[in-house]
Amino acid sequence: MVTNSPRVPTKRRDSAASEQDFFDIPDESCLAVIKRQLRHIRTWVLFAVLALFFLWSWRKGPPPPPAPIPHINYNKVDWSRFAYTQYATSSTYLCNALMVFEALHRYGSRADRVLFYPQDWDLVVSDDNDRTSQLLMLAKEKYNVRVVPVSIEGLKKPDQEAAQESWDKSISKFFAFAEVAYDRIIQLDSDVTLLQNLDELFFLPSAPVAMPRAYWLLPEWQLSSLLIVLEPSFTEYYALKNLALAAAHGQLKLDSTSNRYDMDLLNSRYADSALVLPHRQYGLITGEFRAKDHGHYLGNDRDEWDPEKASDEAAFVHFSNDWKPWVMWSTDELADSQPRCKFFSGTPQESGCENRVAWKKLYDDFRKRRKEVCRLLSFPAHN
């Protein structure tokens, strides 16, 4: 006889034990439970915020550069404190000076304009052929130029009549130093093509003069007088006048071989104290486009000469170490003077003419503007 032993309800006991364990929780206040849960929530929230921040930064990309801070508010400048000056000792240079004033007008310069001219000229247009008086009146009436007659009789070189015009032209620059009604003056040679507004030079750090180097004369280290940013001063004016008097009477030896007497005199006084301007922007000359070696202009071994780039970065180009653009040449002279083109094998004609193209563009532009600005006018004659 088989006896059935009773079955032990194992699962029920396990369930009861588990249920007993489930309800056997430690004695903990509700506040403690809430704080513990909040800690977990804060951790996840912080993680989510950081993830969103990095995602936003990645999609946005790098931050933009800061907006430029204007150094000078040109609309609040008292422009009557600043001036451009030109000088003229002949009808030719009077036309050149007028072209500079026309360019300043075209580029929107708001500084005053001053022209020094020989006191034996006048503003009375005697007839239609009185070109000098016509151009003086045009400067005054159209370009709002203050015309100032000057005399340099006491500064003439008594023994060099052939070089007198060059001497007069050079020394006339110094009258700008006596214009003490202005805080700063820009004296720019008139045989230039102005490519930009130069008003930023009025706000350079204070210095008696600021000038570029004559880089084409290296290794001789000289300042170039094609551009002078000066602070007017009677002290400086009389100092330069005394240097000119000494040179005129042989008491000061000048080294100039090209009749640039003003450059010698200015170097004599300011060679070691001038504020030096970058020549690439404020000292480019047309002779550079004809040069074979551009090392002095570039100033390093890294850059390569690019005539178009040189023109683009220049504020003006000075016709120097070269033909003057108002002089008409013969065909043979032009062929001999213009920059040479390079020749590449396999090409049927000249190539590599970038220097020539840039050079001819400067000359053609100057002559075109000269005809437009300095054409004969129809001022009424005064008897």
Domains of the chain with bracketed CATH: 77-373 (3.90.550.10)
Q: Quickly state the pLDDT bin for 145 (edges 50, 70, 90).
A: very high
Q: What is the pLDDT of residue 382?
A: 46
Is the sign of the CA dihedral 357, 358, 359, 361 positive or negative? positive
Overall average pLDDT of the 77-87 stretch: 96
Residue 369 has a pLDDT of 95
The answer for residues whose C-beta is within 8 angstroms of residue 241's C-beta and 6 or more apart is: 155, 174
Q: What local confidence, expressed as pLDDT, does residue 275 receive? A: 97
Q: What would the pLDDT profile of 275-326 be if each residue is shown by its tens digit?
A: 999 999 999 999 999 999 999 999 988 999 999 999 999 999 999 988 899 8
Say what the pLDDT of residue 66 is: 55
Pair 223, 270: CB distance under 8 Å: yes
Look at residue 377 and tell me whether its pLDDT is greater than 80.
no
Averaged pLDDT, 253-257: 62
pLDDT of residue 125: 87
Mean local confidence (pLDDT), 107-135: 91
Retrieve residue 338's tokens.
């213009």
What percent of the chain has pLDDT above 70? Answer: 70
Rounded to an integer, the average pLDDT of 43-67 is 62
Nearest residue to 167 via CA among 244, 85, 232, 271: 244
The three-state DSSP-derived secondary structure of 55-85 is: HHHHHHCCCCCCCCCCCCCHHHCCHHHEEEE
Cis peptide upstream of residue 62 (ω within 30 degrees of 0): no
Q: Which of 21-30, 79-88, 220-229, 359-368 has the lowest mean pLDDT?
A: 21-30
Cα of first residue to Cα of last residue in the chain, in angstroms, is: 165
Above 70 in pLDDT, residue 224?
yes
Q: What is the mean pLDDT of residues 70-85?
A: 89
Number of neighbours of residue 243 by Cβ within 10 angstroms = 21
Residue 165 near residue 254, CB atoms below 8 Å = no
Average pLDDT over residues 17-25: 50
Range with the lowest mean pLDDT among 12-16, 29-33, 165-169, 379-383?
379-383
pLDDT in tens, 147-162: 999 986 655 554 555 4
Q: What is the mean pLDDT of residues 121-131?
A: 85
Name the most confidently modeled range: 25-29, 151-155, 187-191, 378-382. 187-191
Q: For residue 15, which amino acid is it?
A: S
Spatial separation of the C-alpha atoms in residues 209 and 232, rounded to whole Å: 9
State residue 162's pLDDT score. 45
* Model confidence, pTM: 0.76
Read off the pLDDT of each residue in 322-337 and give the average, rounded to a whole number. Answer: 84
pLDDT by residue (tens digit) across 242-254? 888 887 777 677 6
Q: Which residues pair with 187 in a beta bridge?
A: 85, 228
pLDDT of res. 53 = 66
Amino acid identity, position 154: G
User: Rounded distance, CA 364 to CA 140, Å?
Assistant: 27
Residue 336: predicted pLDDT: 83
CA distance 225 to 173: 9
Mean pLDDT of the chain: 82
Contact 242, 189 (CB under 8 A): no
